[in-house]
């Protein structure tokens, strides 16, 4: 579910851009440090593979079919951090070249699919992947990655005040569950086939510290469940919250630059635009700084 531009309200897309940019900068600097130069073509080609694999249809029955989304599959083969960067690259190309998903909404889409989706796809595998529950872990990974991404997208649309009657929300949640089940099944069978071809391609990990991982997984699942329940039980409440957030954002955006508006002699819009631009510049500066600090050679 790629959200195009102008579906999310300004506070929502701006906040998610602000959240996603530093997170992505941090993750990609880690990947850049940990990845040997020789693996970069592999990551790029696997990104192209995820794109191309969507052409292969999986029959679901009664004439319909689905396809691989790929977040969990990538996380299980190249690792979660690299999978996040690859998914972000896919989303960026989809937004720019294919007009699939917006540019301002890129932060939201990256957050839903590349960050939260990949993490939700990897955690169950990390938790259960070592023992006899391996298959369950892989299936749950595929299932959760799609469910979490789609529910987040729906929540953001509701927060933005896109009016959605309750039946629509219920039907969408049902559809999300179906496609999530399908993604789980596809991930499981494809990963099994890949492992039969070459066991080394599927990432094996040292047994995790069970207790921390269980706690982490429990928190993640609880968060997802709570979000899911809130969204399904009270979409109107989310919209109200969205409106309140919008108003709060407006007042805080206006406040710092309020005094400068008189000499410009312009409307509130210029003030807000200037504040927004200043905010963007600040984010950009912070990200570059964080990126520089993180990528600094360790010997220095």
How far apart are CB 52 and other proteins at their closest, in Å? 4
Residue 286 token pair: 């912070």
Q: What are the respective helix, strand and coil percentages of the chain, to the nearest 5?
A: 80, 0, 20
Asked if 164 and 158 count as a contact pair (C-beta separation under 8 A), the reply is: yes
Residue 239 binds to other proteins (criterion: CB under 8 A): no
Q: Give whichever of 11 and 217 is closer to other proteins, judged by the CB atom.
A: 11
Site for other proteins in 265-284 (CB under 8 A): 266-267, 269-270, 272-273, 276, 284
From 49-57, 126-134, 147-155, 214-222, give the range in contact with other proteins by CB under 8 A: 49-57
How far apart are CB 79 and other proteins at their closest, in Å? 14
Asked if 118 and 74 count as a contact pair (C-beta separation under 8 A), the reply is: yes
Residue 288 binds to other proteins (criterion: CB under 8 A): yes
Residue 22 token pair: 């530093």
Q: 90, 116, 118, 180: which one contacts other proteins (CB under 8 A)?
A: 90
Sign of the torsion formed by the C-alpha atoms of 97, 102, 103 and 108: negative
How far apart are CB 81 and other proteins at their closest, in Å? 11
Q: Give whichever of 12 and 220 is closer to other proteins, judged by the CB atom.
A: 12
279 φ/ψ angles, rounded to the nearest 5 degrees? -60, -45
Closest by CA to 26, choosing from 109, 100, 67, 84, is 84
What is d(CA 44, CA 31) in angstroms, rounded to the nearest whole number? 13
159 φ/ψ angles, rounded to the nearest 5 degrees? -60, -30
131 φ/ψ angles, rounded to the nearest 5 degrees? -100, -150
Residue 189 binds to other proteins (criterion: CB under 8 A): yes
Q: 44, 131, 218, 237: which one contacts other proteins (CB under 8 A)?
A: 44
From 146-154, 193-201, 222-230, 241-249, give the range in contact with other proteins by CB under 8 A: 193-201
Residue 290 binds to other proteins (criterion: CB under 8 A): no
Point out which residues pair with 58 in neighbouring strands. Answer: 66
Residue 97 binds to other proteins (criterion: CB under 8 A): yes
Q: Give whichever of 38 and 207 is closer to other proteins, judged by the CB atom.
A: 38
Q: Give whichever of 213 and 273 is closer to other proteins, judged by the CB atom.
A: 273
What is d(CA 274, CA 263) in angstroms, rounded to the nearest whole number? 14
What is d(CA 199, CA 221) in angstroms, rounded to the nearest whole number? 29
How far apart are CB 222 and other proteins at their closest, in Å? 30
Window 22-41: contact mask with other proteins (x via CB under 8 A): --xx--xx-xx--x-xx-xx
Q: Give whichever of 65 and 209 is closer to other proteins, judged by the CB atom.
A: 65
Window 149-188: contact mask with other proteins (x via CB under 8 A): --------x----xxxx--x----------------xx--
How far apart are CB 246 and other proteins at their closest, in Å? 12
**Residues contacting residue 86 through CB under 8 Å, at least 6 positions apart:** 43, 44, 46, 47, 50, 74, 78
SS3 for 65? Answer: strand
Q: Give whichever of 125 and 220 is closer to other proteins, judged by the CB atom.
A: 125
Size of the site for other proteins (CB under 8 A): 82
Q: Tally DSSP H helices, then E strands, for the chain.
A: 12, 2
């Amino acid at each position: 579910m790629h959200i195009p531009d102008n579906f999310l309200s300004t506070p929502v897309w701006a906040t998610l851009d602000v959240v996603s940019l530093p997170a992505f900068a941090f993750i990609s600097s880690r990947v850049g440090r940990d990845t040997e130069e020789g693996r970069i073509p592999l990551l790029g080609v696997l990104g192209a593979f995820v794109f191309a694999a969507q052409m292969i249809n999986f029959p679901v029955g009664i004439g319909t079919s689905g396809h691989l989304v790929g977040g969990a599959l990538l996380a299980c083969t190249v690792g979660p951090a690299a999978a996040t960067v690859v998914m972000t690259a896919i989303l960026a190309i989809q937004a720019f070249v294919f007009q699939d998903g917006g540019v301002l909404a890129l932060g939201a889409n990256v957050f839903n699919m590349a960050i939260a989706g990949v993490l939700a796809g990897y955690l169950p595998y990390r938790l259960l992947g070592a023992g006899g529950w391996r298959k369950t872990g892989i299936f749950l990974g595929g299932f959760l990655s799609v469910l979490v991404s789609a529910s987040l997208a729906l929540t953001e649309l509701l927060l933005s005040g896109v009016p959605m009657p309750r039946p629509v929300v219920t039907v969408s949640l049902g559809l999300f569950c179906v496609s999530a089940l399908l993604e789980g099944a596809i991930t499981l069978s494809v990963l099994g086939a890949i492992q039969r071809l070459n066991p080394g391609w599927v990432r094996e990990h040292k047994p995790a510290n069970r207790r921390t991982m269980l706690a982490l997984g429990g928190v993640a699942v609880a968060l997802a469940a709570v979000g899911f329940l809130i969204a399904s039980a009270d979409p109107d409440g989310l919209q109200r919250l969205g409106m309140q957030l919008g108003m709060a954002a407006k007042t805080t955006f206006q406040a710092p630059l309020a005094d400068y508006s008189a000499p410009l002699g312009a409307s509130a819009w210029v003030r807000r635009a200037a504040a927004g631009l200043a905010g963007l510049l600040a984010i950009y500066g912070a990200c570059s700084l964080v990126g520089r600090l993180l990528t600094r050679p360790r010997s220095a």
